Amino acid sequence: MNAINAITIALSKGRIFEETLPLLAAAGIVPSENPEQSRKLIIGTNRPDVRVVIVRASDVPTYVQYGAADLGIAGKDVLLEHGGTGLYQPLDLKIAKCRLCVAAPVGFDYAAAVRRGARLRIATKYIQTAREHFAAKGVHVDLIKLYGSMELAPLAGLADAIVDLVSSGGTLKANNLTEVEEIMPISSRLVVNQASLKMKRDLLQPVIDSFAGAVQ
Ligand code: AMP
pLDDT along the chain (216 residues), means of 10: 90 96 97 93 97 98 98 97 94 98 97 95 98 97 97 98 98 98 98 97 97 93
SS3 content of the chain, % helix, strand, coil (to 5): 35, 30, 35
CB 18, CB 24: distance < 8 Å: no
Give the pLDDT of residue 131: 98
Q: Do domains 3-96+187-215 and 98-186 have the same CATH topology?
A: yes
The dihedrals phi and psi of 42, each to the nearest 5 degrees, come to: -120, 120
Question: Ligand 1: which of 18, 73, 98, 100 to mutate, most ligand atoms within 8 Å of CB?
Answer: 98
Question: Ligand 1: which of 60, 125, 167 to mutate, most ligand atoms within 8 Å of CB?
Answer: 167
> Taking CA 135 as the corner, what is the angle to CA 123 and CA 137, rounded to the nearest 5 degrees?
105
Lining ligand 1 with CB less than 6 A are 15, 75, 96, 98, 164-171
For ligand 1, the distance from its centroid to the CA atom of residue 130, given in whole angstroms, is 17
CB 215, CB 93: distance < 8 Å: yes
Give the pLDDT of residue 3: 86
The dihedrals phi and psi of 75, each to the nearest 5 degrees, come to: -70, 150
CB 211, CB 27: distance < 8 Å: yes
CA 50/CA 1 separation, integer angstroms: 14
CA–centroid distance for 205 within its chain: 23
* Statement: the pTM of the whole predicted model exceeds 0.85: yes
Domain layout of the chain by residue ranges? 3-96+187-215, 98-186
Kindly report the CATH class assigned to 98-186.
Answer: alpha beta
CA–centroid distance for 39 within its chain: 22
For ligand 1, the distance from its centroid to the CA atom of residue 33, given in whole angstroms, is 25
For ligand 1, the distance from its centroid to the CA atom of residue 36, given in whole angstroms, is 18
Q: What superfamily does domain 3-96+187-215 belong to in CATH?
A: Periplasmic binding protein-like II (3.40.190.10)
Give the pLDDT of residue 2: 78
CA 129/CA 134 separation, integer angstroms: 9
- Residue among 186, 126, 132 nearest 161 (CA): 126
For ligand 1, the distance from its centroid to the CA atom of residue 104, given in whole angstroms, is 16
